[in-house]
């Protein structure tokens, strides 16, 4: 038996035979056919240039038809936000610059259709990679995915067939899986995923979490030594893969898996009751969403509303800014799904690691400390005002609240409110119906706002603590830099003290306070946050059943004692050890 270690990308335990997925690299085949060493491939046109370009055009048309099908399938299986990637793939196929480059490669460089496609797409992908930006690096991967699809059509290669035709349950082992691979997969037969590359926010990890399939990613090349059919245990809780386990180990893990599945089923059944402690203290357990589909999914998991609607996803993956009308339709669609349930819409939070391709932003030395979120919105009224108009209109007769991200000072709160008032006056003057009683809150995710929460609270209706950012700013550790990940700890006493102060300040001013950072759905932290008095927990939908079950298993007196004991610890490790010693449920 061997143990391989990687990142725990999606919780759960899977046991089954390995399906080693190693699609042929069409480009490598081409290069070797032509006898060339390394890129660029130099397959010479066997036919005349016009005929080769016609082959390219036909392949692009077939790819477009395939991608339409893949989009529809993904929409049904994993929702709009994730399926949107295949709309972006379709756009590449008709990109005039790319098509012109393929033609040029055929006519001027005398390349064959397959090589022209590879060279043109690869050139474009390299340009995007050179921009040294996470968003564009991902687009480069998408370009390669599309290039492979088109070349497979040209050569008649069939490697995705294996994934769509799975007929018995397997654990997929791969270097990495592209969006096209996962979209075409027969997911009913996939027990688990393990990949050699990829991080916790890689496409494979996100899909695995949405589908509830256990996954371990970033294992390294050792994974690729696994032989097809080898029995594997994927431990998505701890980020480990065991190969060829002995009978005792198999039995032990099968038991753990069954217990986990039984707990998830039971929690899910009970998740439709309102969240409350065993002694009747009510809190709200709500969801973080990105569109109407994810709102629907969240209600299915027992969400009592939405604590964070990340509107930036409506702005990403497209070539131009969505109009006020488009935004209105999208916000209203979400509000309609939620009915009377509360919906907190966060205004645009871009910058940092989220860039819009159509909004030219100068490179910054420290993007997370730079021009992002409310700072950018206050500077660009033609982005901020249409969004506020769309939200106010969509909020008519609905339980909608507005939340401003990345507030550092009271002046920013006041300026944002002034813009909102101006927009309300414009709508009233135009006779456009809108909700005049929308509540206004802010995200507390910058230490300055946390420290002066008592001064800000009287000027807003609510707070939502954004721990994803609050932790990085408190401990001065970039949230996407693995080298300083050891500092990034939600249980650090400095973070806990800030959270406690924010809750006390909000309550002192008679305001409610929620949390929409990942910490709110972390079962280790929930008892502590409950005891500190947090009123609302907003999390990924799949965490809701376990979170509600945990809250229901505690009394408020117990939770308060846990919080006060944890707050006396001096290091994150001491806090963690204390919480683990309580032996409470883990998500
Ligand atoms: C946060 O910072 O905790 C948060 C929820 O916002 P985001 O992760 O979008 O920055
Ligand atoms: Mg944030």
pLDDT in tens, 169-221: 899 999 988 877 887 788 888 999 999 988 776 777 777 877 778 999 989 99
Instruction: Please give the structure tokens belonging to residue 203.
Output: 């496409």
Residue whose Cα lies nearest atom 5 of ligand 1: it is: 517
Mutating to test ligand 1, I would choose from 442, 469, 471, 538 the residue with most ligand atoms within 8 A of its C-beta, which is: 469
Three-class secondary structure of residue 527 per DSSP? helix
Closest CA relative to residue 220, chosen from 205, 236, 199, 234: 199
477 in catalytic set: no
* Mean pLDDT to the nearest integer, 23-52: 52
Q: How far, in Å, is the centroid of ligand 1 from the Cα of 515?
A: 10
pLDDT in tens, 37-50: 344 444 444 568 99
pTM attached to this predicted model: 0.71
* Mean pLDDT to the nearest integer, 62-69: 85
For the ranges 132-136, 355-359, 534-538, which has the lowest average pLDDT?
A: 132-136
Mutating to test ligand 1, I would choose from 81, 405, 521, 534 the residue with most ligand atoms within 8 A of its C-beta, which is: 405
Measured over the CA atoms of residue 489, residue 492, residue 494 and residue 500, the dihedral's sign is: positive
Half-sphere exposure of 347 (CA within 13 A, CB side): 34
543 in catalytic set: no
Query: Residue holding tokens 């402690």?
Result: 277
Residue whose Cα lies nearest atom 3 of ligand 1: it is: 466
**580 with 303: CB under 8 angstroms?**
no
Instruction: Please give the structure tokens belonging to residue 225.
Output: 């030594």
Q: How far, in Å, is the centroid of ligand 1 from the Cα of 186?
A: 33
Does residue 347 have its Cβ closer than 6 Å to ligand 1?
no
Residue whose Cα lies nearest atom 7 of ligand 1: it is: 468
Does residue 372 have its Cβ closer than 6 Å to ligand 1?
no
**230 with 18: CB under 8 angstroms?**
yes
Does residue 406 have its Cβ closer than 6 Å to ligand 1?
no
Q: How far, in Å, is the centroid of ligand 2 from the Cα of 345?
A: 14
Q: What angle do CA 347, 353, 358 make, to 5 degrees?
A: 70
Separation between Cα atoms, residue 505 and residue 511, nearest integer Å: 8
**551 with 277: CB under 8 angstroms?**
yes
Largest Cα span, the chain: 81
Which ligand 1 atom sits closest to the C-alpha of 405? 6
- Between the CA of residue 421 and those of 91, 126, 323, 434, 444, what are the distances in Å? 39, 46, 21, 12, 22
Q: How far, in Å, is the centroid of ligand 2 from the Cα of 508?
A: 25
**411 with 371: CB under 8 angstroms?**
no
pLDDT in tens, 210-259: 777 899 998 999 999 999 899 999 999 889 999 999 999 999 999 999 99
Separation between Cα atoms, residue 483 and residue 89, nearest integer Å: 33
Which ligand 1 atom sits closest to the C-alpha of 288? 5
Separation between Cα atoms, residue 288 and residue 539, nearest integer Å: 5
The model's confidence at residue 317, banded by pLDDT at 50, 70 and 90, is: low
Q: How far, in Å, is the centroid of ligand 1 from the Cα of 106?
A: 47
Please check the confidence at residue 84 and state whether its pLDDT lies above 90. Answer: no
Out of 341, 377, 492, 516, the active site residue is 516
- Between the CA of residue 208 and those of 37, 74, 201, 415, 516, what are the distances in Å? 37, 13, 11, 41, 22
Q: How far, in Å, is the centroid of ligand 2 from the Cα of 110?
A: 50
**290 with 317: CB under 8 angstroms?**
no
């Amino acid at each position: 038996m061997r143990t391989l270690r990687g990142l725990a990308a999606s919780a759960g335990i899977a046991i089954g035979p390995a399906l080693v997925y190693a699609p042929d690299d069409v480009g490598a085949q081409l290069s070797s056919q032509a006898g060339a060493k390394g890129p660029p491939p130099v397959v010479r046109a066997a036919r005349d240039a016009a005929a080769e370009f016609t082959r390219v055009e036909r392949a692009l048309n077939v790819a477009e038809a395939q991608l339409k099908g893949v989009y529809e399938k993904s929409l049904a299986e994993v929702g709009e936000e994730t399926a949107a990637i295949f709309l972006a793939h379709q756009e590449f196929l008709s990109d005039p610059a790319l098509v012109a480059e393929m033609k040029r490669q055929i006519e001027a460089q005398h390349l064959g259709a397959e090589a022209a496609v590879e060279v043109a797409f690869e050139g474009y992908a390299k340009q995007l990679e050179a921009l040294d930006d996470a968003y564009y690096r991902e687009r480069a991967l998408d370009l390669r995915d599309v290039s492979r699809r088109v070349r497979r059509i040209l050569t008649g290669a069939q490697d995705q067939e294996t994934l769509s035709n799975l007929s018995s349950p397997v654990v997929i082992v791969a270097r990495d899986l592209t969006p096209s691979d996962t979209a075409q997969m027969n997911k009913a037969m996939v027990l688990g995923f393990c990949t050699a590359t990829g991080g916790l926010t890689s496409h494979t990890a996100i899909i695995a979490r949405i589908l509830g399939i256990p996954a371990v990613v970033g294992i390294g090349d050792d994974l690729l030594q696994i032989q097809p059919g080898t029995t594997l245990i994927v431990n998505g809780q701890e980020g480990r893969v065991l190969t060829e386990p002995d009978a005792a180990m198999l039995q032990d893990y099968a038991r753990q898996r069954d217990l986990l599945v039984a707990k998830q089923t039971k929690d899910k059944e009970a998740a439709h009751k309102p969240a409350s402690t065993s002694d009747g203290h009510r809190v709200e357990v709500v969801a973080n969403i990105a569109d109407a589909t994810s709102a629907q999914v969240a209600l299915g998991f027992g969400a009592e509303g939405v604590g964070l609607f990340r509107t930036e996803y409506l702005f990403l993956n497209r070539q131009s800014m969505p109009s006020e009308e488009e935004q209105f339709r999208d916000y209203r669609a979400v509000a309609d799904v939620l009915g009377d349930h509360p919906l907190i819409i966060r205004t645009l939070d871009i910058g940092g690691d989220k860039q819009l391709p159509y909004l030219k932003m100068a490179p910054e030395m420290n993007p997370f400390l730079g021009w992002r979120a409310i700072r950018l919105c206050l500077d660009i009224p033609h982005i901020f005002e249409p969004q506020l108009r769309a939200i106010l209109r969509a909020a008519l007769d609905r339980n909608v609240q507005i939340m401003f991200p990345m507030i550092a000072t009271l002046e920013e709160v006041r300026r944002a409110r002034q813009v909102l008032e101006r927009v309300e006056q414009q709508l009233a003057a135009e006779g456009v119906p809108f909700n005049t009683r929308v509540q206004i809150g802010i995200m507390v995710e910058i230490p300055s706002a946390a420290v002066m929460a008592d001064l800000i609270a009287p000027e807003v209706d609510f707070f939502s603590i954004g721990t994803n950012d609050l932790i990085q700013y408190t401990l001065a550790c970039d949230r996407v830099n693995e080298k300083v990940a050891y500092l990034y700890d939600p249980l650090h006493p400095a973070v806990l003290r800030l959270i406690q102060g924010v809750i006390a300040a909000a309550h002192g001013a008679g305001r409610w306070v929620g949390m929409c950072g990942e910490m709110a759905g972390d079962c280790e932290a929930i008892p502590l946050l409950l005891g500190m008095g947090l009123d609302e927990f907003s999390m990924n939908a799949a965490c809701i059943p376990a979170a509600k079950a945990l809250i229901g298993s505690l009394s408020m007196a117990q939770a308060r004692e846990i919080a006060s004991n944890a707050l006396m610890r001096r290091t994150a490790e001491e806090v963690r050890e204390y919480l683990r010693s309580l032996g409470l449920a883990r998500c």
